[in-house]
Structure 1
Amino acid sequence: MNRLEVTEKIISTKVTKGIKWEAVAKKVGLSKEWVTAACLGQMTLNAEQAKIVGKMFGLTVEEQKWLQVAPYKGSLPTLVPTDPLIYRWYEIVNVYGSTIKELIHEEFGDGIMSAIDFSMDIVRQPDPKGDRVNVVLSGKFLPYKQY
């Protein structure tokens, strides 16, 4: 048993039972974005959260323990993503990354946007020309310190 096998079981159960990430998030009491990342192996659940997820997905106690292990983050199978949706994000960063960096530095100074003290919100935005995906990323600014 390993974390990948637990993730695969979660995905399989989600599909066969028709479970929605929003429903899992409501039971856990956190955002759908964070809970989805945890269920996909990118975040660590505490024991109580793992038990809730375990109940929803029929996980054993051992499998629930794997949800509590700090994962290896950023686990895309290839350097350049091949999934079209993920590739679009890769493309966005390639095209707009230097612009985002420049504008953040101009506004905040030399530093980075945290992906630890971070939140994300993904919502459908109705549009007569075709619904849009509205993604808001919010990370704490962390200035580089002098020493």
Structure 2
Amino acid sequence: MNKAEMKQAVLAAKRHGGLSWSDIAEAAGLSPEFTCSACLGMNHLEERSATAVAELLGLSTDVADALQTFPDKSWVNTIPTDPLIYRWYEMVNVYGETIKELIHEEFGDGIMSAIDFTMKIDREEDPKGDRVHVTISGKFLPYKSW
């Protein structure tokens, strides 16, 4: 089973079972954000977590095996057309250089890791309309001279 087939099986079982990503993450013993990413094929799970997810969803060991396979992190579209994902690209285009300048000013020349990285998504109630609260934390990796 490849990652695309795994993704479709997981999404169908999640929908059929009426489960949330928090339910699935609890079985995996991981955060909802990371668990969802792995179930969508962009990360992998260790054996215990993969087995627990497949069992919770009533899916085969083929799904558990696919969840453990290292992903090929590639994108079909350079700029996605899904409105929610596109807005993230828009934010990076508008504020990316600002983020880079402020990180360099605070930390020096380097990058923020997307490997040593955490993310948390929360709902923030607001009388003017609920807000999406995203917290992203990545390790700073300085460029080295040699």
Same fold (TM over 0.5): yes
Structure 1 residue 74, shift from structure 2 partner: 4.2
Q: Does residue 1:130 correspond to 2:129, yes or no? A: yes
- Give the secondary structure class of the aligned counterpart of 1:43: coil
TM-score (normalised: structure 2): 0.96
2:29 corresponds to: 29
Letter in 1 for 2:81: T
Structure 1 residue 2, shift from structure 2 partner: 1.3
2:19 corresponds to: 19
User: What's the CA shift string for 1:34-53, capped at 9, x where partnerless?
Assistant: 11101111111111111001
CA distance in 2, matches of 1:52, 1:108: 40
1:45 corresponds to: 45
1:111 corresponds to: 110
Letter in 1 for 2:110: G
- Give the secondary structure class of the aligned counterpart of 1:67: helix
Could you say what the CA RMSD is over the residues aligned between the two structures, in angstroms? 1.0
In structure 2, list runs of 5 or more residues that go unmatched: none
CA contact (8 A) 2:113 2:141 kept: yes
- Give the secondary structure class of the aligned counterpart of 2:68: coil
Where do 1:81-100 residues align within 5 Å?
Answer: 81-100=80-99
CA distance in 2, matches of 1:64, 1:52: 8
CA contact (8 A) 2:44 2:69 kept: yes
* More moved, 16-25 vs 57-66: 57-66
Between the two proteins, the alignment pairs up a number of residues equal to 146
Counting aligned pairs with the same residue, the percent is 54
CA distance in 1, matches of 2:113, 2:3: 25
CA contact (8 A) 2:27 2:56 kept: no
Letter in 2 for 1:6: M
Where do 1:73-84 residues align within 5 Å?
Answer: 73-75=73-75, 77-84=76-83
CA distance in 1, matches of 2:52, 2:108: 42
Structure 1 pair 74/131, CA: closer, same or farther in 2 (3 Å)? farther
